[in-house]
Chains A and B, each alone.
Chain A
Amino acid sequence: MKQRLNLSVLMRSKVTWAVVAEVLILIVCLIVRPDFFSISYQPSTGMLYGNLIDIVNRSSEITIIAMGMTLVIALGGTDLSVGALVAVAGAIALKFLRWDVTVYNTPGDYTVYPFFLVLVVPLLVCIVMGLFNGFLIARWDMQPIIATLILMVCGRGIAQILTNGKQFTTGYSPFRVIGQGSFLFLPMPIIITAVVVILVSLFVRKTAFGTFVESVGINRKASRLSGINAQLIIFIVFALTGFLSGISGLIYSSRIMSNDSNNAGLNFEMDAILAVVIGGTSMTGGKFSLLGTVLGSIIIRTIVTLVYYFGIASEATMAFKAVIIAVVIVLQSEPVRNYFSKRAASRAKLANGGVK
């Protein structure tokens, strides 16, 4: 009976459904491609290759942003500007990866500015933009969705102005490492993502920050009256999200070794929000699950990979993504979960009665 009751608790947990969905999709993958789980080692690059690694690698950008987005959503908001910030970070990085045109006339392994500027300046700018969001929300009490809409609309324009509307390319190898290098046999983005996930989790759960975020997300006024500096919490969360968008932008532009103000980070805000919601964090704010978010992001990527296998055009993956996401979200929705947990409970009752 105890097991049955646990089952009903599990049925009510949103993360459970995310795990179930991921396992089901992986099983379908396995049926379509029996060698789906195989991983091979390529000595020439010193990296492991395989579908699973590819899925995690390709989900890096979204996972990193979604870490911040989880906290934003836990505060009861949404950050629409992350995609634009990805474009801004890429534009600034590539702006600093200039070379002396009098010496070389093709892109190559050179840069005039020191490499740390290439890394630090985009991240700083993204933090500042995150703080701008935070300022509008914490100080002016704006709705997050509107406040971040401003930078979402402006952001790509700013990226265009910074690069004068041009698309730069580079061949600078230290920059290439970020998106295409490897460490411990794994692609670098996976390593970066793992570090980000661990650091954010530690920061949130080993300090009281997570509790404060939940508290402010549930009831900002009561939190303030309990002595929590709600404004500070909001500032930190939005600055962190900006910073993470910057990291994501660097990875993205390092993969293509170029900037693309129009398409870099396009729809990232949507994917990140989806990842968070699929991961079981409610859009109304409050309790959140970072692990669920990582899972959500991987689910989204797994769907895309699965659809490739059916030989369907990449743009059309959206339709399948939509269908699977719809199923997950409907399963997670309150009435459906209540229905299942009630059924599980009544079955448990029946079993109990039978014993008696």
Chain B
Amino acid sequence: MPDNNILEMRQIEIQFPGVKALDKVDFSLRAGEIHSLLGENGAGKSTLIKCLTGVHHKDGGTIILNGREIQPQSPQNAIELGISTVYQEVNLCPNLTVAENIFVGRQPMKFGQIDWRTINSRARELMRRFHLDIDVSRPLSYYSTAVQQMVSIARAVDIQAKILILDEPTSSLDDNEVKLLFQVMRDLRAEGMGIIFITHFLDQVYAVSDRLTILRNGHLVGTYNIEDISKVELVTQMVGKDMDTIFNLKRVDVDKDAPYVLTASHIGIPGQVEDISINLRKGELMGFAGLLGSGRTETAEMLFGATKTANGEIELNGKKTEIRKPYDALMHGMAFCPEDRKVDGIIGDLSIRENIALAVQARRGFMHPLSRKEQNDLADKYIKALGIATPDAEKKIGELSGGNQQKVILARWMATDPNVLILDEPTRGIDIGAKAEIQRLMLEMCEKGVSVIFISSELDEIIRCSNRIVVMRDREKVAETDGANCTQEKILAIIAEGAQGAGGTKS
């Protein structure tokens, strides 16, 4: 094996209060390779990266960069050492211009002043390299998340680092943008840069990387050449157990004559989503498929009253109902787990108990408080039923892992005993084991007669669980198919057909 490693991390150890986040992990990166880092959430990928970028400090082990031992103290220090990073969430300043975001902290100077002209022209050139023809003198907040993500990649690339770390950069990009990113990555590889690539999408790993390293629970599982490991092997290594649980999940059949619980006719908000009609039967699981931004989330938010519906009407159990705010929806027996769990779901500093009791309490109003005992009973019941991994109910929800947070939010709504449960991307960003469990819970709810709306970007999930599938595209509902005899190809075809049409008319 050629040993042209530019980076070598040996026996890295990091201790967090109560847990060993990394236990003697080895990792190496060669010049001119794309090296994927894989593992479930909490496996230690981010910790390893943050150790390299100076956010966390290691408690043991050595980092060798180009033959010299280094001790990154801060992100600034890491950048000086030639390590540049693109984080999962866009880590730029929304108030600065695109150009400035690329150059801030290292602006070209002229006569003791910042040379704005050069900044703007160089930024424009750089964005062209990414096939983006945008006005770089506009504030970053003016552009979509995808563009922002590209800008942060451009910044990382322009620093001319020896090592580029991409921490889930593709989660907000669509297929074309991902292809573009891969092209850029390959170009950089050809120039001799070492790239560390973290992603949840296994296809992307195979599409672009040379080698991959798998972590599990803070331990190194192994480093493999991409051709030496199959997808199944890879997943088994990541999870550490076989995948039977997932493949055993089966959709729950729904009675064809079951009454409609929720009927929405022609609801919409001009400019956001328009003319959506759905009928949801009792005990039915309806999947919402479609690309990011196709209007799935907007529809869910309208149904739940998180945004006010402008047109159309909603019937609950056959009665016309007006839902103006989430409180109304709650009072009508609806429940909603929002897409962005960290921002819209959890109340970080409150305990698991308080988070679980929150919606029940909101329904009763603050003048009729649940007693401490009732709260404890609720919390204990759901911690047990959902298998939430926590020492006790008084732990802050913010300190839990993503999957467990999602379960607490699910518990919050299950405690209200809803008729209609809307789940917006409940399985995003959580590990495979937790994913399977959440799907199992969802199906159990259906069995008990709860109607579920399930939004997900992962088609296999939707097809596996749904009785009916609604396909969204361009902020409209474009198709509705039966879940039982639907295939991934069929849905993709419906989405793709529209995408070409829309692309043709607009560009």
Enumerate chain A interface residues (CB-CB to B < 8 A). Answer: 206-209, 211-212, 214-215, 218-219, 221-229, 286-287
**B343 to A221, Cβ gap below 8 A?**
yes
Nearest B-chain residue to A233, judged by Cβ: B366
* A211-B361, A215-B347, A222-B347 known; A227 vs B369 contact (CB < 8 Å): no
Residues of B within 8 A of A215 (CB): 347, 350, 354, 358
Among candidates B344, B350, B368, B370, residue contacting A218 with C-beta atoms closer than 8 Å: B350
Does B327 lie within 8 Å of A214, measured CB to CB?
no
B330: Cβ under 8 A from any A Cβ: yes
- The answer to whether A227 and B363 touch (CB under 8 A), given A219-B348, A222-B343, is yes
Are A218 and B354 in touch, CB under 8 angstroms?
Answer: no
- Chain B contacts for A229, CB-based, 8 A: 325, 327, 362
B349 → A minimal CB distance (Å): 5
A286 to B326 CA separation, bound complex (whole angstroms): 22
Knowing A215-B358, A228-B358 are in contact, say whether A223-B347 is a contact too (CB < 8 A): yes
With A206-B369, A211-B354, A218-B348 as contacts: A226 and B343 at CB distance below 8 Å: no
New A-B contacts (14) at CB < 8 Å, excluding given A207-B367, A228-B362: A206-B369, A207-B366, A208-B364, A211-B350, A215-B358, A218-B348, A218-B349, A218-B350, A219-B346, A222-B338, A225-B345, A226-B326, A227-B327, A227-B358
| Whole-angstrom CA separation of A224 from B328 in the bound complex | 11
Q: Please report which residues of chain B, range 310-355, place their CB below 8 angstroms from some CB of chain A when the two chains form the complex.
A: 325-327, 329-331, 336, 338, 343-350, 354
Closest 9 CB pairs of A and B: A227-B330, A227-B362, A208-B369, A208-B366, A286-B349, A209-B366, A228-B362, A226-B358, A226-B359
A229 to B364, CA, bound (A): 12
Q: Which residue of B lies closest to A215 (CB)?
A: B347
Question: CA A214 – CA B329 in complex, angstroms?
Answer: 23
B464 at the interface (CB under 8 A from A): no
Q: By CB atoms of chain A within 10 A, which of B336, B345, B362, B368 has the most?
A: B362
Q: Compute the total of residue contacts between A and B using a CB distance below 8 Å.
A: 80
- B195 within 8 Å of A (CB atoms): no
A251 to B469, alpha carbons, bound, how many Å?
66
- The complex places the Cα of A286 from the Cα of B397 at a distance, in Å, of 14
User: Which residue of chain B has the shortest Cβ distance to A212 in the bound complex?
Assistant: B366
Q: Please tell me if B162 contacts chain A, counting CB pairs below 8 Å.
A: no
Inter-chain contacts of B330 with A (CB < 8 A): 226-227
Verify A225–B362 contact, CB threshold 8 A: no
Interchain CA distance A286-B354 in the complex, whole Å: 13
Among A206, A207, A225, A287, the one with the most B-chain Cβ atoms within 10 Å of its Cβ is A225
Q: Which residue of B lies closest to A286 (CB)?
A: B349
Note all chain A residues with C-beta closer than 8 A to B329: 227
Give the shortest distance, in Å, between B124 (CB) and chain A (any CB): 36
A214 and B349 alpha carbons, distance in the complex (Å): 9
Most buried by A among B327, B330, B346, B347: B347
User: Which residues of the partner chain B approach A286 to less than 8 Å between Cβ atoms?
Assistant: 349
- Greatest chain A CB density within 10 A among B326, B362, B366, B412 is at B366
Residues from chain A with a CB closer than 8 A to the CB of B331 are 227
Which B residues lie within 8 Å of A211 (CB)? Answer: 350, 354, 358, 361, 366
Q: Is the CB of B349 within 8 A of A225?
A: no
- Listed by A's residue number, 28 A-B pairs whose Cβ atoms lie within 8 Å are A207-B366, A207-B369, A208-B366, A208-B369, A211-B358, A212-B361, A212-B366, A214-B347, A214-B350, A215-B350, A218-B350, A219-B343, A219-B346, A219-B347, A222-B343, A222-B345, A223-B358, A224-B326, A226-B362, A226-B412, A227-B326, A227-B331, A227-B358, A227-B362, A228-B327, A228-B358, A229-B327, A229-B362
Complex Cα–Cα for A89 and B359 (A): 39
Give, as a whole number of angstroms, the nearest-CB distance from A46 to chain B. Answer: 39
A227 to B412 Cα, complex, angstroms: 11
B306 within 8 A of A: yes
- Residues of chain A within 8 A (CB-CB) of B346 are 219, 222
Which parts of B239-293 form the interface with A (CB within 8 Å)?
A: none
Q: How far is the CA of A207 from the CA of B364 in the complex (A)?
A: 11
CB of A282, distance to nearest CB on chain B (Å) = 9
Q: Which residues of B contact A227 (CB under 8 A)?
A: 326-327, 329-331, 358-359, 362-363
B residues less than 8 Å from A207 (CB atoms) = 366-369
Give Cα distance in the complex from A214 to B343, angstroms: 16
CA distance A40 to B289 in the complex (A): 79
Question: Are the C-beta atoms of B347 and A225 separated by less than 8 Å?
Answer: no
Q: Using Cβ atoms and an 8 Å threshold, which residues of chain A touch B348?
A: 218-219
